[in-house]
Structure 1
Amino acid sequence: MKIKSLKLRQTNIPFVLVFKHALKSRSEVDGLIVELETENNIVGYGEALPREYVTGETTESVTGHLINTIFPKMRGMEFNNIDDVLYFLDNFYDIFDSLTEYDLCVKAATELALLDAYGKENKKSVLNLCSSACGLTPKNEIVYSGVVSADTPIIVKQILKQYQKTGITQIKLKVGKDLEHDIKNIELSREIIGKNVEIRADANEAWDLASAKKNLPILAEMGVVSIEQPMPKTSRDDYPKLMEFLRGKIEVCIDESLCSIGDAKWMIENGGASLFNLRISKNGGLSNALKIFAMAKSNGIKCQLGAQVGETSLLSSAGRILAALCGNFLFHEGSFGTHLLSYDLTKNPLSFGSGGIGDLSYLNLTDSMGLGIKVEGKLLDKMTKKILE
Structure 2
Amino acid sequence: MKIVDLEIYQASIPLHTPFKTALRTVTVAESIFVKMTADNGITGWGEAPPTHVITGESLASIHYAIDKLIRPILIGASLSSYAHILAQLEKVIVRNSSAKAAVDMAIYDCLAQEANQPLYQYLGGYRSSLENDYTVSVNAKEQMQKDAKLYKENGFRILKVKVGKDTAAKDIARVAAVREAVGEDVLIRLDANQGWTAKEAVNAITQMEAMGLNIELVEQPVAAHDLLGLKYITEHTKTPIMADEAVFSSQDARRVLEMGAADFINIKLMKAGGIYQAMKIANLAEIYGVSCMVGSMIETKLGITAAAHFAASHPAITRFDFDAPLMLADDILEGGVHYQGKGKTITFSNQSGLGIKTVKESYLQSVKREGEW
User: What TM-score, normalized by structure 1, do the two folds share?
Assistant: 0.87
Considering fraction of residues, name the structure with more strand: 2
Q: Which moved more, 1:39-48 or 1:24-33?
A: 39-48
Amino acid at match of 1:124: Q
| Structure 1 runs (4+) greater than 6 angstroms displaced | none
User: Could you give the per-residue CA deviations for residues 166-216 of structure 1, whole angstroms, max 9, x where no partner exists?
Assistant: 221111110122334333332333333222211111111111122112212
Q: Which residue of 2 aligns with 1:243?
A: 234
Q: Which residue of 2 aligns with 1:67?
A: 67
SS in 2 for 1:325: coil
| Residue among 95, 101, 117 paired with 1:108 | 101
Q: Which residue of 1 aligns with 2:30?
A: 30
SS in 2 for 1:18: strand
Conserved? CA contact 1:35–1:43, under 8 Å: yes
Q: Which residue of 1 aligns with 2:362?
A: 382
Conserved? CA contact 1:293–1:326, under 8 Å: yes
Amino acid at match of 1:43: T
Q: Indicate the RMSD between aligned Cα atoms, in angstroms.
A: 2.1
Conserved? CA contact 1:190–1:196, under 8 Å: no
Q: Which residue of 2 aligns with 1:342?
A: 329
SS in 1 for 2:27: strand
Q: Does 1:169 align with 2:149?
A: no
Q: Which residue of 2 aligns with 1:12?
A: 12
Q: 1:9 to 1:107 in 2, by over 3 A?
A: same
Conserved? CA contact 2:20–2:26, under 8 Å: yes
Q: 1:184 to 1:245 in 2, by over 3 A?
A: closer
Q: Does 1:125 align with 2:122?
A: no
Conserved? CA contact 1:254–1:276, under 8 Å: yes
1:67-216 equivalences under 5 Å are 67-79=67-79, 81=80, 84-90=81-87, 92-94=89-91, 96=92, 99-100=93-94, 102-131=95-124, 137-176=125-164, 177-216=166-205
Matches of 1:166 and 1:353 in 2, distance apart?
Answer: 11
Matches of 2:277 and 2:260 in 1, distance apart?
Answer: 21
Query: Structure 1: which 5+ residue stretches go unaligned?
Result: 132-136
Give the CA deviation at 1:11. Answer: 1.9
Matches of 1:226 and 1:283 in 2, distance apart?
Answer: 22
Matches of 1:34 and 1:346 in 2, distance apart?
Answer: 14
SS in 2 for 1:319: helix
Q: Which residue of 2 aligns with 1:44?
A: 44
Q: Which residue of 1 aligns with 2:287?
A: 298
Conserved? CA contact 1:166–1:353, under 8 Å: no
SS in 1 for 2:225: helix
Give the CA deviation at 1:344. Answer: 2.2
Query: Structure 2: which 5+ residue stretches go unaligned?
Result: none
User: Could you give the per-residue CA deviations for residues 10-46 of structure 1, whole angstroms, max 9, x where no partner exists?
Assistant: 2211110101010000101121111111223332111
Q: 1:349 to 1:109 in 2, by over 3 A?
A: closer
Give the CA deviation at 1:144. Answer: 1.0
SS in 2 for 1:119: helix
| Residue among 349, 371, 378 paired with 2:354 | 371
Q: Which residue of 2 aligns with 1:134?
A: none
Matches of 2:364 and 2:339 in 1, distance apart?
Answer: 25
Matches of 1:193 and 1:212 in 2, distance apart?
Answer: 23
Matches of 2:32 and 2:348 in 1, distance apart?
Answer: 27
Matches of 1:241 and 1:164 in 2, distance apart?
Answer: 33
Matches of 2:110 and 2:139 in 1, distance apart?
Answer: 40
Matches of 2:60 and 2:226 in 1, distance apart?
Answer: 27
Matches of 1:3 and 1:215 in 2, distance apart?
Answer: 52
Q: Which residue of 1 aligns with 2:216?
A: 225
Conserved? CA contact 2:297–2:324, under 8 Å: no
SS in 2 for 1:375: strand
| Residue among 285, 291, 294 paired with 2:274 | 285
Matches of 2:223 and 2:99 in 1, distance apart?
Answer: 24
Percent of aligned pairs with the same residue? 26
Give the CA deviation at 1:226. Answer: 1.0
Count residues with an aligned counterpart.
Answer: 366
User: Could you give the per-residue CA deviations for residues 262-313 of structure 1, whole angstroms, max 9, x where no partner exists?
Assistant: 211211222221110111122111111111011112112221121112x111
Conserved? CA contact 2:163–2:192, under 8 Å: yes
Conserved? CA contact 1:124–1:370, under 8 Å: yes
